[in-house]
Structure formats: structure tokens, C-alpha cells
Amino acid sequence: MEFSKPFIIAGPCAVESEEQLMTTAKAVCDAGASALRGGAFKPRTNPQSFQGLGEEGLKLLAKAKKLTGLPIVTEVLDTRDVTLIAEYADIIQIGSRSTQNYPLLKEVAKTKKPIILKRGMAMTVEEWLLAAQYILDAGHDQILLCERGIRTFETATRHTLDLNVVPLLKERTKFTVIVDPSHGTGKASLVPPMAKAALACGADGLMIEVHPNPAKALSDGQQSLDIPTFEKLMKEIQKTS
């Protein structure tokens, strides 16, 4: 698979309903996004929180792909779901909580689908690259490394977006490097400036959470852009790239 530069992945944190997903898919497509994201299996910190629609969510993603033609990015949490998710996903996301789940990495590598390997929230670059090595050793090399913020002493933002790694990884590796300012900041107002900063320091792409009504989102509403704000960001990005 070829990744246009900048490769912009946008969509809701979680697939919630047909209306929510189709509205978002159409809007991000019209705004110029390169791929649609949406979680069907969600890794939630609180077991009481919405866990995703599961297979029904995957079916809605397939419908959104038919509607827009956008490739689909969705997360896998469990080795038992890899085959099912590979039937629907064009790119498989390994979330920050799973990047050191080595059996999962090996299983996903077998699908030969491009893999987004998110940085674990307490992972050094060395550990991240060793996780990527598990995938390379399984004979697969379509890996997109995604910086999504790390946990530091700072609590004013959800995580600390470590943009240092962008030029560092570009210097040291051949991987495609993308940045997720949504999880990296946890705050919608900070997403556009940090998205632009990521591209300015050499990121090959972005992952951005977008929701038609962030206040009502079932997950990550505070960090999701509404549609007009995403459209504005895309125009600004297109002007400079």
C-alpha cells in the first residue's frame, strides 16, 4: 500500500452508530483525509466504559468504506480477533496498551496488512523499535510508527506529545512516522497547533479523532475535533504542504 504524504487518518475514536460513522466518514473524505479510523474493539481504562460495537462496528466501517472509498484503520486488541479484523481493515492499528504484546504483534504480522504501531505510553524509543523488530522478524515490513504521547509528570495535558522522536526516527529508521495529537494532548483546542507542529518537524502523516458532536461522544470527546474544525485544519495543512 502507498501512503500519500501527508497521510491523514481521521475519524471517531469509536464507531458508535451508523449515523455517527457515515456523517463523519463523508465529512473527513470531503475534507481530503487519506483514511478513515474508527475503533470497534476499544481498550477502555474503565471496564464500565463503552467497549465498542465489536463485529457490528466492523460492518459499519465496511459500509463507510463503500460510501467514501477511504481505506479503513481499526484497532485489534486480542489475538483471537485478528482474522476477523483483517477481513475489514486495510491498516491494522496496534494500540499503545498492546505494543508490547509480542504474541499479538506476531499474529498481526501474518495478515500482511500495513500495521500502525503506536508508541506505548511508557515506552522508550529503543523498546518501540524492538517491538517493531518482532514484526520485521515475522517477515513483514509495512509498519507505520505512531507517536501518541507519553506519560510524564505533567498533568495539564493528557499525555506529553514527544515530537523529538519524529526527526529522530526519520534519522535512524526507514519507517513511516505519523503523529496522533488527539491522544497526545487530550484536548481538542491543542490538536490543530500540534498537528501542524508534527508536520513541520517531518511527520509523514497524522491520526486525528473527529466526531460530529464531541460533547456526546462515547469515548474521547474532549480531544475530538468537530467537523468544521477538522475542515479548517485540513485547509491549513493543504496550504503548507
Q: Which residues bind ligand PEP (CB under 6 A)?
A: 13, 39, 43, 95-97, 118, 148, 183
Closest residue to ligand PEP, judged by C-beta, is 95
CA proximity to 9, closest of 128, 167, 182, 151: 182
CB 134 within 8 A of CB 110: no
**Shortest gap between Cβ of 95 and ligand PEP (angstroms)?**
3
Interaction of residue 73 with Mn ion, rule CB under 5 A: no
147 binds Mn ion (CB under 5 A): no
Distance CA 147, CA 163 (A): 8
Nearest to 179 by CA among 195, 192, 158, 160: 195
Residue where the block lists cell 462515547: 218
Q: How far apart are CA 132 and CA 228, in angstroms?
A: 36
Q: How far is the CB of 47 from Mn ion (least distance, A)?
A: 16
Does position 13 bind Mn ion by CB under 5 A?
yes
Minimum CB separation of residue 190 from Mn ion in Å reads 15
Which DSSP symbol is given to 119?
A: P
**What residue 95 binds from Mn ion, ligand PEP, none (CB within 5 to 8 A, per partner kind)?**
ligand PEP
Residue 96 touches which of ligand PEP, Mn ion, none (CB < 5 to 8 A by kind)? ligand PEP
Residues that bind Mn ion (CB under 5 A): 13, 220
